Amino acid sequence: MTRTIRLAARQALLEQRSFWRSAEYALFTLAFPLMILLLIGAANTGAHLPGTGIKNTTVFVPGILAFGVIVAAYVNLGSKVAVLRHDGVLKRIRTTPLPPRAYIAGLLASTVVTAITITAATGLIGWLAFGAAPRRGQVPALAGALVLGTVCFAVLGLAVSAVITSAESAGPVAYASFLPIAIISGVFDPTFSGLPDWLSRLVAAFPVKSLAEVLQNTYAVRPFSAWDLADLGAWTAAGAAFAVWRFRWHT
Amino acid sequence: MTGRAEDAAVQVAGLRMSFGSAEVLRGVDFDVRYGEVFCLLGPNGAGKTTTLEILEGFRVPSAGRVRVLGLDPAAQPVKLRERAGMVLQECGFPRQARVAELIGLWRTYYRDPRPLGELLEVVELTEVRNVQVRKLSGGQRRRLDFALALAGDPDLIFLDEPTTGFDPEARRRCWAAIENLRGLGKTILLTTHYLDEAERLADRIAILRAGRIELAGTLTEIATRAGLATRISFTTPPALLRRQVPPPDGIELACRGTASVCHTPNAAGTLRLLLAWAAEHGLGDLDGLAVTAPRLEEAYLSLTAAPGLSRDPA
């Protein structure tokens, strides 16, 4: 067990070094959520949610936290694993006695580090630029929600990597499969509304909105239900089952 | 049961493999002894890679018995990977990793790894140890493949077409690296479709064609079985040209202008006769005496008279 942990840690270290060594990749992974945070945030300053005293930005910043988690866990991990498979790196791992669980754990650990970096930067800038901060006593809940969200979307990233067939399509597939959902989930626009009833019910079923709502609730008192947590848990379980079923070490 | 308890590092008997209705291997038998370089030679599509994948534990054969270091590869893949290094035909690297960093990581996968400096030296990558993998040349990448396969200090190394697609310089350096591995006492099983590569590296060769071993043995054994003889030639002595001395008895000597040539399955015996004849007639040591062993290429072509193998990557 300790050997597995040590091996996973070594693997995560190499992944992190590789990530930061590829400067554009690291920069854009980090910069994308921050750019959206600043640009759209600036357009929302001073506005309040209709019929409440809650500032738009107070809800918008945790939405971008959710976005950052999804970019780090789902997009990055999913496309990375697809590329590793396409390049034959996964196949090479299979020629060694390294336990597969140690390898996967290493990839996940590296993903958690990336997610922490992105969300810490987002949270800090959201606080400095827009004064948005978690409610008093909600920091542990915020941290827990971030962990849950990272795990959920990392597992979904592994799952989506199994259906991506080429390295070239990895990034586009990963982004295209969640950005539209993120937009109609109101992640980028706290006042987003006007969806047909059936569509808003469909969107609520996806984990993007659930994660956003859980995080938003730690910033402002929002309609929050156990449903969101159950939804994230269900997606995690489904993603894990699919990843285990479909995961391949070679193309 | 340990591998050493058996007399061969790799034992293959009656190996068959079918994919659907296509029969790729139709009863393959061969043994690889400890410490030798064994070459599975054959044209593309002969079943070389499939054989290797079975030996590496990646595929379960349709029939036959396979033992690698005394282990059943399909049933004990992790145990096998602890002791056998594998260089697959095409296998990528994490792009941003540096050479020494990657080998260092690979060393952690094994219980008793070889020292990092030694690994770099064996494959001649010491100078590029801090270079990112994506900046290496094809030949350097292949040698990094070797280093990773060697990281766990394995007893046996599988090399699947180690120099396919390389320029002559890159091939020579790969060959040098493989000879370094041999120098470490490793058993090596390599596949190739290059005759000169098999000739240069292998102690023993098995020719695999259309899912069967056609011929196996040392180069000399293969040549003998192909009916190829050693060629002995020398400058025709003027006295023989002028018929002042009789031709040697028991040797079929062909005089082509100033050169005399004979072919023999028994080089030593023929040489003895020839030199005795020369001494008897005062011809001295026979100018330009040359003994040429048969080439694998001639043996192969005379056996199969079939295309599919190439001498050079060009």
pLDDT tens-digit readout, A15-74: 999 999 888 888 888 888 999 999 998 888 878 888 788 888 888 999 999 999 999 999
Helix, strand, or coil (residue B81): helix
Please indicate whether residue B235 or residue B7 has the higher confidence score (pLDDT): B235
* Residue B289 pLDDT exceeds 50: yes
Q: On the CB side of B301, how many CA atoms lie within 13 Å of its CA?
A: 11
- B101 touching A (Cβ < 8 Å): yes
Name the band, by pLDDT with cuts 50, 70 and 90, for residue B4. very low
Same domain? B127 vs B249: no
CB-CB: which of B88, B106, B132 is closest to A91?
A: B88
Q: For chain A, how far is it from start to end, CA to CA, in angstroms?
A: 30
Question: What angle, 0 to 180 degrees and rounded to 10, lies between the N-to-C axes of helices A100-130 and A2-21?
Answer: 50
The CATH number assigned to the domain holding B148 equals 3.40.50.300
pLDDT of residue B6: 53
The single residue listed with the structure tokens 């498979």 is: A85
> B279 and B148 in one domain?
no
Nearest residue to B33 (alpha-carbon basis) of B239, B203, B280, B212: B203
Provide the shortest C-alpha distance from residue B86 to chain A (in Å). 6
Collapsed DSSP state (helix, strand, coil) of residue A247: coil
Instruction: Please report residues of A whose CB lies closer than 8 A to that of B90.
Output: 88
pLDDT at B304: 67
B86 and B149 Cβ atoms separated by less than 8 Å: yes
Q: Distance (Å, rounded) from C-alpha A111 to C-alpha A84? A: 15
The SS3 of residue B217 is strand
One domain for residues B180 and B279: no
Do B149 and B233 have their domain in common?
no
Q: Look at residue B203 and tell me if it is in a domain.
A: yes
Q: Look at residue B305 in the predicted model and tell me its pLDDT.
A: 59
> Does B43 fall in a domain?
yes
Structure tokens given for A239: 């993603």
Structural domain that includes position B88: 3-224
Distance from C-alpha of B229 to C-alpha of B220, rounded to nearest angstrom: 9
Q: Is residue B161 part of a domain?
A: yes
Tell me, yes or no, whether B137 and B93 share the same domain: yes
* Residue B91 β-bridge partners: none
B103 Cα distance to chain centroid: 26
> Is pLDDT at B314 greater than 50 in this prediction?
no
CATH number for the domain that contains residue B289: 3.30.70
End-to-end CA, chain B: 46
Looking at the fold, whether B61 and B207 belong to one and the same domain comes out as yes
Say what the pLDDT of residue A171 is: 87
Is residue B233 domain-shared with residue B216, that is, in the same domain? no
Q: Are residues B189 and B53 in the same domain?
A: yes
Decide if A94 and B58 are in contact by the 8 Å CB cutoff: yes
**What is the b/e burial string over A3-42, where b = at least 16 CB atoms within 10 angstroms of the residue's CB?**
eeeebbebbbbbbbbbbeebeeebeebbebbbebbeebbe
Q: Which of B195, B224, B253 is the last residue of a domain?
A: B224
The predicted pLDDT at position B1 comes to: 41
Count structural domains, chain B. 2
User: Which tokens belong to A143?
Assistant: 């941290």
Question: How many alpha carbons fall within 13 Å on the CB side of residue B125?
Answer: 33
Looking at every residue in chain A, the average pLDDT score rounds to: 91
pLDDT for B258 equals: 83
Give the sign of the dihedral formed by CA A213, CA A218, CA A223, CA A226: positive
Q: Tell me what pLDDT residue B5 has.
A: 44
Q: How many residues does chain A have?
A: 251
**What local confidence, expressed as pLDDT, does residue A64 receive?**
95
Per residue in B111-140, pLDDT (tens digit) is 999 999 999 998 999 999 999 999 999 899
Residues B163 and B209 in one domain: yes
Distance between alpha carbon B74 and the CA centroid of its chain, in Å?
25
Letter for the amino acid at B265? P
Residue A121: enclosing H or E segment and its boundaries? Answer: helix A100-130
- Residues (pLDDT < 50) of chain A are none
Answer whether B87's CB lies under 8 Å from B101's CB: no
Give the Cβ contact number of residue A245 at 10 Å: 9
What distance in Å separates the CA atoms of residue B130 and residue B141, rounded to the nearest whole number? Answer: 14
Which one of A5, A80, A92 would you mutate to disrupt binding with B, by most B Cβ within 10 Å of its Cβ?
A92
Residue in chain A nearest B88 by alpha carbon: A92
Which of A239-243, B233-237, B240-244 has the largest mean confidence? A239-243
For the ranges A7-11, A220-224, B89-93, B222-226, the maximum mean pLDDT occurs at A7-11
- Does residue B304 sit within a domain? no
Is residue B175 domain-resident? yes
Identify the residue whose tokens are 């697809």.
A82
Q: Which residues of A touch B (CB under 8 A)?
A: 6-7, 10-11, 14-15, 17-19, 21-22, 84, 86-89, 91-92, 94-99
DSSP B128: G
Q: Is residue B57 domain-shared with residue B137, that is, in the same domain?
A: yes
**What percent of chain A lies above the pLDDT cut of 70?**
100
Asked if residue B250 and residue B121 are part of one domain, the reply reads: no
Nearest CB to A18; choose among B78, B96, B110:
B96
Q: Is the pLDDT of residue B264 over 60?
A: yes
Average pLDDT over residues B77-94: 92
Q: Is residue B313 one of the residues assigned to a domain?
A: no
List the Cα angle A74/A207/A15 in 5-degree steps: 15
List phi, psi (to 5°) of B208: -105, 125
In a domain, B312, yes or no: no
Question: Does residue B92 sit at the A interface (CB-CB below 8 Å)?
Answer: yes
Cβ–Cβ under 8 Å, residues B94 and B136: no
Q: What is the pLDDT of residue A28?
A: 82
Domain end, chosen from B192, B224, B256, is at B224
Give the residue from B189, B206, B224 where a domain finishes.
B224
What pLDDT, in 10s, does the model give residues B16-37?
999 999 999 999 999 999 999 9
Report the gap between the CA of B78 and the closest CA in chain A (Å).
5
CB-side neighbour CA atoms (13 Å) of B144: 32
Please, what is the Cα angle at B15 between B9 and B16, to 5 degrees? 155
Query: Same domain for B190 and B266?
Result: no
Q: What is the pLDDT of residue A221?
A: 78
Q: Is the pLDDT of residue B104 over 50?
A: yes
Give the pLDDT score at B3: 42
The predicted-structure confidence for B38-78, as pLDDT tens digits, reads as follows 999 988 888 999 999 999 999 999 999 999 999 999 999 99
Whether B64 is in a domain gets the answer: yes
Q: Which residue of A has its CA nearest to B145?
A: A92
Tokens of A224: 């929050």
CA–CA dist A165, A173 (Å, integer): 10
**What local confidence, expressed as pLDDT, does residue B313 receive?**
45
Average pLDDT of the residues of chain B: 88
d(CA B100, CA B27): 42
Mean pLDDT within B155-166 = 91
